[in-house]
Chains A and B, each alone.
Chain A
Amino acid sequence: DGGITQSPKYLFRKEGQNVTLSCEQNLNHDAMYWYRQDPGQGLRLIYYSQIVNDFQKGDIAEGYSVSREKKESFPLTVTSAQKNPTAFYLCASSKDKGPLSYGYTFGSGTRLTVV
């Protein structure tokens, strides 16, 4: 079955560490997205990518970095510069590049906790 796989499901980070969240899709979708979810705030866009080797900042990109070397993969690195990284992170993909009519397919999320 086609879908999006996020790993790990739970991740713990020590202060000052960088961590990388994995997102892989086998839907042949062009566009991929990273969102952060905090209680009562809905989802906020971190980064998105519409084609390989290209990505754009979203609303809250500071302290995060991404790469898009393959169509199937869009990993997110949470750097030590992100001061409040504890959150639920969701990866999504869409077959649209431009105006979106199809909506997103979501992964099952990674819960990141700073310890």
Chain B
Amino acid sequence: AQSVTQLDSHVSVSEGTPVLLRCNYSSSYSPSLFWYVQHPNKGLQLLLKYTSAATLVKGINGFEAEFKKSETSFHLTKPSAHMSDAAEYFCVVRGFNDMRFGAGTRLTVKP
């Protein structure tokens, strides 16, 4: 069965410093992986997706993620955090009929 584990429930960074949100996956076949962002009381917005093309995936708002099969990881990074990046982030793996969500990582950005 497909699943993802987000290794940190909360990450706090200062504005202008790098962001790293960690995700490990488990999949019985070649996975499709996604990162979504959710601002308070809003729906989820797709940041980026990996579907077996390039292992380094670039998304919106300066985010990117690298697929590492040997480590079964799909970590999300951004070189420089902005205050507007404060939100909840979800790592997601494709199932056969639906998508499987991690528990989420809350990103706090300090001024």
Interface, chain A (partner B; CB < 8 A): 4, 6, 33, 35, 40-45, 48, 50, 56, 58, 88, 90, 92, 98-101, 103-104, 106-109, 111
Contacts and interface: CB of A to CB of B under 8 A. Distances in A.
A109 B46 contact: no
A58 B98 contact: yes
Given A90-B44, A99-B96, 4 more contacts: A98-B96, A106-B43, A106-B45, A108-B43
A86 to B, nearest CB: 14
Contacts of A40: 9, 103-104
Majority DSSP secondary structure for residues of B touching A: loop
Contacts, number: 59
A90 B44 CA distance: 9
Interface of B: 9, 32, 34, 36, 41-46, 49, 51, 90, 92, 94-99, 101-104
A58 B98 CA distance: 9
A45 B97 CA distance: 11
Nearest to B33: A103
